[in-house]
Structure 1
């Protein structure tokens, strides 16, 4: 089975590839000749995931799945949420995003947050969605060199290290994207 993962984010592809069984060949947007920006204009994480999956199916004719992820911080009314990638500006710079988030949390004692990933699968003209959540907290400063995005300031509940300080395998076990992708894989295994 061939499935397109509708992203150009190499870090996401690497994370997801390690979870997908060998009998499923994962194709990137580059592999199918898609070089334009896939629209993400919805106001929810789920809406963006669905929009991306439908765009690839409609414009390229491939069965595919897409994900959208957001960091939801309690003290900021669940911001940045669907705007996580652009929180610090249109340049989509992870350090700008983290710096703004830490500044906005500076005087707030509540550091509770969660990562949420929704995976939308468009397969045989049917649409399915799978959601993974990882609860945790925002640290006061950045820790670690691994991971990407907000990983240096997010510590999963029950863990003393940030996502940027743990291995990819461990992050996939406890993390939001890993949980959503495992639900996707379970669904595909039962077809």
Structure 2
């Protein structure tokens, strides 16, 4: 973690590669293993430019969208990557920022004193986090619908669209 002021930039990348597309096509569901990277400022908190821990595609997107609601309510949120296992802890700070931490142990998700040296943590403005979540969820939604238009009315994609709309309402209201 850095002692400086909160970063004003964050980005989330979903690694929609050939393997992911093959599994979506085979299963006719976007809810299959999907790698995710999270960057705060110049630091990758989760993953890197090309890969990241995997979790259920729509599940990870929906968890990230739910994190917005939690931080606006002043509550910690934990995103789980099932194929790790690893977790991302999103914790609101007193100054209107959010601490984003990758934890490789469950104990580290609930107790900062139990985090390991390899657990990366950075602070970002809440506004930058909300924008990154919203943008990445929208990009995920569009990428799936563009590649697999037959999934536009699937329960999973409708749920993602609904939650994007909820985040829009929360962040604009």
Say whether the fold is shared (TM-score over 0.5).
no
TM-score, structure 1 as length reference: 0.27
TM-score, structure 2 as length reference: 0.29
The answer to which structure has the higher helix fraction is: 2
Larger Rg: 1
